[in-house]
Amino acid sequence: MKEIENIFVYNKIMKNTKILVADDHQEIREVIRVLLSSEGYEVIEAKDGNEAIEKCSQDVDLLILDIMMPDCNGYQACQQIRQISKAPILFLSAKGAESDKTLGFSSGGDDYLTKPFSYNELTARVKALLRRYYVYQGKESPSTEYKQLVFGQLVIDEASQKVLLAGKDCECTEIEYKILHLLVNHPRQVFSIQHIFTSVWQEDFYQSASNTVMVHMRNLRKKIHDDPQHPTYIKTVWGKGYTFDAIK
């Protein structure tokens, strides 16, 4: 029943989906616009990071940001956009090094696609990001019963979807919040990287997804632990995965 409800929410909102594409190359923006428009999405274009920030509003459902843009690059734009929007952000870049992806996720991005890309890969990533966003947002209804989960100085507020440590906002991204929320609701249960990915990203696991999960986990640990090398809450079970091992 829940899966049917999620599909209904996804299909309903898909009709008015707006995607903001920021790239300083007009040809690339044109290609992406044509591809996404053929899928029924409304596409808004921006020629650089500053224009992306200006055009980002609450009715934008997803952003695709190039990294190497003049004046304000994709990382900088992402950080500022995160202050006003929770919409998923997909980085699209020719820079494919692990350090580039780590910086992208640290800036608040949700996914990273390396150029050149295929039509199928781009649309699959876009649909997966939107599906998670719609279903996740769709849970926010007046009838929902929210809880405040407290583990020592760590507080997870389901109503505001915020994570607090010693009263200070940890400023977790949507993905980081969902990973933490998954773990805290199943204390001491060991989750493999594959299980975390399929549960949080809501798509089939693929080989390079392991690095994606580990980068997000590393960023999350830095935010909720005073000493990430000796974590209080999220523990590594070597060879098996991660577990949340804290007493309320």
Residue pLDDT, tens place only, 101-114: 888 888 888 899 88
Query: Token pair for residue 188?
Result: 């001491």
11 assigned to some structural domain: yes
Do 156 and 230 have their domain in common?
A: yes
Backbone angles phi, psi at 218, to 5 degrees: -65, -45
Boundary residue ending a domain (138, 170, 187): 138
Higher pLDDT, 55 or 95: 55
Q: Which pLDDT score, from 0 to 100, does residue 140 have?
A: 45
Reported as a single tens digit per residue, the pLDDT across 158-184 is 888 889 988 889 888 888 999 999 998
CA angle 197, 186, 189 (to 5 degrees): 80
198 assigned to some structural domain: yes
Residue 242 bridge partners (DSSP) = 191, 236
19 assigned to some structural domain: yes
76 assigned to some structural domain: yes
Domain that holds residue 170: 148-244
Report, as an integer, the average pLDDT of 48-77. Answer: 92
pLDDT at 13 over 60: no
- How many Å apart are CA 222 and CA 157, to the nearest integer? 19
**DSSP string of 69-118, one letter each residue:** -SSS-HHHHHHHHTTT----EEEEES---HHHHHHHHHTT-SEEEESS--
CATH number for position 115:
3.40.50.2300
Sign of torsion, CA 206 140 102 66? Answer: positive
Do 167 and 238 have their domain in common?
A: yes
Do 11 and 119 have their domain in common?
A: yes
Do 118 and 47 have their domain in common?
A: yes
Do 101 and 48 have their domain in common?
A: yes
CATH number for position 200:
1.10.10.10
Residues contacting 189, CB < 8 A, separation 6+: 243, 244
- How many Å apart are CA 209 and CA 201, to the nearest integer? 10
17 assigned to some structural domain: yes
pLDDT at 142 over 80: no
Do 171 and 121 have their domain in common?
A: no
Report, as an integer, the average pLDDT of 49-71. Answer: 92
Do 240 and 134 have their domain in common?
A: no
Query: If DSSP codes are grouped into helix, strand and coil, which group holds residue 45?
Result: strand
Query: If DSSP codes are grouped into helix, strand and coil, which group holds residue 23?
Result: coil
170 assigned to some structural domain: yes
Do 109 and 216 have their domain in common?
A: no
Percent pLDDT > 70 in the chain is: 88
What total number of domains does the chain contain?
2
| 202 conformational bin, left if phi > 0, alpha if psi -120 to 50, beta if neither | left
DSSP 61: -
Backbone angles phi, psi at 149, to 5 degrees: -95, 125
143 assigned to some structural domain: no
Do 43 and 95 have their domain in common?
A: yes
- How many Å apart are CA 124 and CA 120, to the nearest integer? 6
Do 9 and 112 have their domain in common?
A: yes
189 assigned to some structural domain: yes
Q: Which pLDDT score, from 0 to 100, does residue 138 have?
A: 45
pLDDT at 9 over 70: no
Do 68 and 177 have their domain in common?
A: no
Q: Confidence class of residue 53 from pLDDT cuts 50, 70 and 90?
A: very high
pLDDT at 3 over 70: no
Q: Which residues of 9-46 are buried (b: 16+ CB within 10 A; e: fewer)?
A: bbeebbeebebbbbbbeeeebebbbebbeeeebbbbbb
Do 86 and 12 have their domain in common?
A: yes
